[in-house]
C-alpha cells in the first residue's frame, strides 16, 4: 500500500456579501419559501457582485487561510483551482490568483470536476506531494454559479449560490491527512447535468445552447443516492474502518433531501453530517470546504477526527476521501 505523505495544514473560506433569500426568488419566479425549503433545505445563498469573479472569491479564501494560520505561501509550488465557472477560458483562474498572491515559482491550473472538484483537487495534491514532485500546494474550490444560472428556470435557479474554500496541503513524512480515496465517472449520463460551451451537441444529441446550467434533477438524484453510498463503503473498506469510526460525513451540499437519503442508505447519522446548503445553497466545488471550515471554526471538528468527504455531480463524476483531520 502506498504511504501517503501529504497533510492539510490550514483552511480558509470566503462568500460574497450579497444575500439572496427564498423571499427574493418569490419576486422572480412562481415559488415561495415553504416550497423551496421543503424540497431542498435551502434558505439563503450568496451572490457575487457584477465585477466579482471566481478568482476574486478564491483569492479571498486564501487570504483568510493565511491570516488565521499565520502561513507563508511564498514557497507554494502548485495552485489548483477547482471550478467550472472560471473567469475566462484562458488564462486559468489559478493563474489569475497566482498573480494576485504574487507567488513567483509555482504551477497553476484549473481542475473541472464540477461538484466533485474539491475532493479531486485534494486527491491530486496528495498524489503530487506523495510522489515527491511537489511539497506545498494550495487547493481552492471556488464558484460563481450565479453567472451561469437561468433565473427563469424555477427548478434550478433556487439552488445555486457563490462561494469559495481553500486548503493548504504540505509534505509530511509522518502524518498524512488522506487515508483512502475512491472515484468514478459515468459520462454517458452527463446530459442530465451540463452547461454548454463551444459544442451544441452531447453524445450526438442537441443540447440547450444558452450557456446556462441545465439539470435533470430527478435523474441526478437517482444516480447520487445509489452511487455515493457505494463509494462510502469502498472508502471504509480500503481503510479497514467501519461506519462507527466516522466522526463526520461531509457530502457535496446539493440538496438536503438527497443528503438525507444518502445518510439513510449508508447508515451515517444526519447529526454527524455537515453541509453548507442552508445558508449558501449549492456552490458546487465550494460546498464541501465551506461546510468543513464552518465546523472547524466552531470546534465541532477536532484534531484526529475521521472525516468522509464526498463530491458528486456534473460528469456525472464522483470522488470520495477518507481523511484524518490533523490541524
Contact 138, 76 (CB under 8 A): yes
Say whether 263 is catalytic.
Answer: no
Longest dimension (CA), the chain: 56
Among residues 181, 182, 252, 318, which one is catalytic? 252
Tell me how far apart the alpha carbons of residues 155 and 164 are, in angstroms, rounded to a whole number. Answer: 24
Among residues 115, 157, 195, 263, which one is catalytic? 115
Tell me how far apart the alpha carbons of residues 55 and 100 are, in angstroms, rounded to a whole number. Answer: 9
Tell me how far apart the alpha carbons of residues 205 and 273 are, in angstroms, rounded to a whole number. Answer: 38
The answer for residues whose C-beta is within 8 angstroms of residue 36's C-beta and 6 or more apart is 22, 25, 42, 43, 158
CA atoms within 13 A on the CB side of 317: 17
Contact 140, 58 (CB under 8 A): yes
Contact 215, 193 (CB under 8 A): yes
206 burial type by CB count under 10 A (0-12 exposed, 13-18 middle, 19+ buried): exposed
Q: Which residue has the cell 489569475?
A: 96
Say whether 192 is catalytic.
Answer: no
Say whether 252 is catalytic.
Answer: yes
Written as nine digits, the cell of 234 is: 469502498
Among residues 182, 255, 282, 318, which one is catalytic? 282
**Strand 193-195 and strand 205-206: pairing?**
unpaired
Active site residues: 115, 252, 282
Amino acid at each position: 500500500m502506498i504511504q501517503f505523505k501529504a497533510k492539510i495544514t490550514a483552511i480558509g473560506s470566503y462568500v460574497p456579501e450579497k444575500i439572496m433569500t427564498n423571499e427574493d426568488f418569490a419576486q422572480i419566479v412562481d415559488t415561495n419559501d415553504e416550497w423551496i425549503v421543503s424540497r431542498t433545505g435551502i434558505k439563503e445563498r450568496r451572490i457575487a457582485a457584477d465585477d466579482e469573479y471566481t478568482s476574486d472569491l478564491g483569492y479571498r479564501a486564501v487570504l483568510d487561510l493565511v491570516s488565521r494560520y499565520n502561513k507563508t505561501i511564498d514557497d507554494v509550488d502548485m495552485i489548483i483551482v477547482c471550478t467550472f465557472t472560471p473567469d475566462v477560458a484562458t488564462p486559468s483562474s489559478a493563474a489569475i490568483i497566482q498573480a494576485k498572491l504574487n507567488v513567483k515559482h509555482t504551477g497553476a491550473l484549473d481542475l473541472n470536476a464540477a461538484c466533485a472538484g474539491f475532493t479531486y483537487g485534494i486527491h491530486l495534491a496528495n498524489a503530487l506531494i506523495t510522489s515527491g514532485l511537489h511539497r506545498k500546494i494550495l487547493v481552492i474550490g471556488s464558484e460563481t454559479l450565479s453567472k451561469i444560472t437561468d433565473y427563469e428556470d424555477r427548478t434550478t435557479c433556487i439552488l445555486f449560490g457563490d462561494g469559495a474554500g481553500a486548503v493548504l496541503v504540505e509534505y509530511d513524512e509522518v502524518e498524512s491527512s488522506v487515508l483512502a480515496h475512491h472515484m468514478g465517472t459515468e459520462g454517458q449520463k452527463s446530459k442530465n447535468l451540463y452547461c454548454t460551451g463551444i459544442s451544441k451537441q452531447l453524445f450526438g444529441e442537441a443540447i440547450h445552447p444558452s450557456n446556462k446550467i441545465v439539470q435533470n434533477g430527478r435523474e441526478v438524484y437517482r444516480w447520487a443516492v445509489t452511487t455515493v453510498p457505494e463509494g462510502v463503503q469502498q472508502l471504509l473498506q480500503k481503510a479497514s474502518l467501519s461506519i462507527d469510526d466516522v466522526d463526520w460525513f461531509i457530502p457535496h451540499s446539493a440538496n438536503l433531501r438527497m443528503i438525507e437519503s444518502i445518510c439513510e442508505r449508508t447508515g451515517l447519522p444526519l447529526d454527524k453530517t455537515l453541509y453548507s446548503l442552508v445558508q449558501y445553497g449549492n456552490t458546487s466545488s465550494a460546498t464541501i470546504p465551506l461546510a468543513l471550515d464552518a465546523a472547524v471554526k466552531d470546534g465541532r471538528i477536532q484534531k484526529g477526527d475521521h472525516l468522509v468527504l464526498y463530491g458528486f455531480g456534473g460528469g456525472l463524476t464522483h470522488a470520495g476521501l477518507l481523511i484524518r483531520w490533523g490541524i
